[in-house]
Copies of this chain bind each other. A is one copy, B any other.
Amino acid sequence: MTQEKPATAAMLAIGDEILSGRTKDKNIGHFADTMSLAGIDLKEVRIVPDEEPAIVTAVNALRERYDIVVTSGGIGPTHDDITADAIGAAFGRLVGEHPEAVARLEAYYEGRGLPFTQARRRMTRTPEGASLIDNPVSVAPGFSVENVHVLAGVPHVFQAMLGNLVETLPNGMPVMSRSVPCPLGEGDIGGPLAKLARERDGVSIGSYPRFAEGRYTTEIVIRSRDETLLDEAEAAVKALIGEVS
């Protein structure tokens, strides 16, 4: 079996409220978990304010560097929701009302007896040629332009949209991981572990300090897309801990 190189991804979170500390981001961790499970390598995350030049610069840097770019935030009905315009500017495409998005929102507000205000119509605006991403929670859709996928920032809407999107992305093999607890601190296991990590291809070995009950221990995490390599590395790490302890 040929092992294809996994697709790479970046996330761009858009919003003054995250940078001011007012809102604590809950999407990055969920996105990272989702990419891991899909076998896609998340390589970079950026957070930028609701300012068009900052969004355009980040989108253009990320979409050229990575296979997949997912944005969160800035697609609601208010004046500070400028993501659609910024994505249009990044791609040099006009932005206008998407007929299918208009139809969905018209039906939704009519069904609830609410007026389809000018502010709500803002949520139907996409760059030309965009395809919609379904929003099973509050109807107003996200959209994709080439490899850039624009999702809402409200966590339960972000998660629902991402669930719809992820099935359409170019997936690799899932990454498997094993966690090995080590009773030694990083200062004791670090040297020998570095040597072991250098000797093993196809696995990534990370170590994470833990502090509890007045002493440091280490959690060693081994990751691979190949179960045999993972088994072998896990056995080697356990043997190493036995030797050093």
Listed in ascending order, the chain A residues whose CB lies under 8 Å from chain B are 16-25, 28-29, 32-36, 42-49, 54, 76-80, 114-115, 117-120, 122, 154, 175, 177, 186-191, 193-194, 197-198, 204-209, 211, 221, 223
Contact = CB atoms under 8 A, between A and B. Distances in A.
Q: How many copies does the complex hold?
A: 2
A211 B177 CA distance: 37
A42 to B, nearest CB: 5
B42 A188 contact: no
Most chain B Cβ neighbours within 10 Å, of A16, A46, A189, A190: A190
Contact of A18 (B23, B32, B117): B32
B32 A21 contact: yes
Main secondary structure of the interface of A (DSSP, over half): mixed
A219 B206 CA distance: 42
A35 B21 contact: yes
Contact of A206 (B25, B80, B207): B80
Given A16-B204, A45-B19, A79-B198, A154 B209 contact: yes
Nearest to A121: B187
Nearest to A204: B16
A79 B107 CA distance: 57
A22 B177 contact: yes
Contacts of A117: 187-188, 190-191
